[in-house]
A = this chain, B = another copy of it.
Amino acid sequence: MIKHYDITEYKNPLFTVDSVLFTVKNGALKVLMVKRASEPFAGRWGLPGGFVDVDIDDSVSMTALRKLKEKTSVAPQYLEQLQTYSGINRDPRGFSVTLVYFALIAEAQVSTHIETVDDAKWIDIDEVNNLPVAFDHKYIIEQAKARLKQKALYSMAPVYCLPEHFTVGQFKSVIETIIGKPVQRKSIIRRIEAAGMFETLDEKVKSGGRLAQLYKVKAGVDIVNFERNLSV
């Protein structure tokens, strides 16, 4: 595969697609990382991704999904572009360009599969700094984390870190994990109602106290954004 990208011969930028896939697990924000088997940076940890295969990928988002499925077996619930990173120094092979996707998934959806893949692991966001990380992926993860934090303040996107059926308490907890400080339960309830993108289930669920109402995302709705942020 790599032979098509011999930069010294064709002066073509090396183009890859990577993803920062987040989830929240046990009250901690985690990012999916892969132990690199090949050079450059063999043995170090990097983001899941790779080269576009123009024979099977219709667009670069398909590349991102394909690479993520190899590690998690499923497509993430939320996927959007983060940014493109490029430069002459980020890859020892030469000028390289990486389009990075930003993705969210419920941990429960992938937990069993990820244990069977021994080169991919959920890394606690605070542990990334202690790992040997490939390329500029440490920096990219920081940027993705900042984006996720912003999204948690003005949008309902973090709901995609939750299982299909979830409670207000779980949603609140995910948001608090992402933004790193407490929010008012009331604010979450207000937004759930105002967004109009959720429906209540008849079922309730145990929570240590009073039974909690279950919610799910209505079919076919888009993520709702708000005109006002939660407080930072």
Contact = CB atoms under 8 A, between A and B. Distances in A.
Given A60-B97, A229-B227, A11 B4 contact: yes
A84 interface: yes
Nearest to A6: B10
A97 B231 CA distance: 38
Contact of A227 (B60, B88, B99, B232): B232
Contacts of A52: 13, 95, 97
A31 to B, nearest CB: 21
A195 to B, nearest CB: 16
Nearest to A60: B86
Nearest to A53: B11
A146 B178 CA distance: 27
A77 interface: no
A218 B228 CA distance: 27
Interface in A90-104: 94-95, 97, 99
A139 to B, nearest CB: 13
A95 to B, nearest CB: 4
Contacts of A231: 227
A205 to B, nearest CB: 33
A59 B81 contact: no
Interface string A139-160: 0000000000000010000000
A126 interface: no
A36 to B, nearest CB: 22
B60 A84 contact: yes
A86 B86 CA distance: 17
5 smallest CB-CB distances across A and B, nearest first, come from: A227-B229, A54-B95, A60-B86, A59-B87, A228-B228
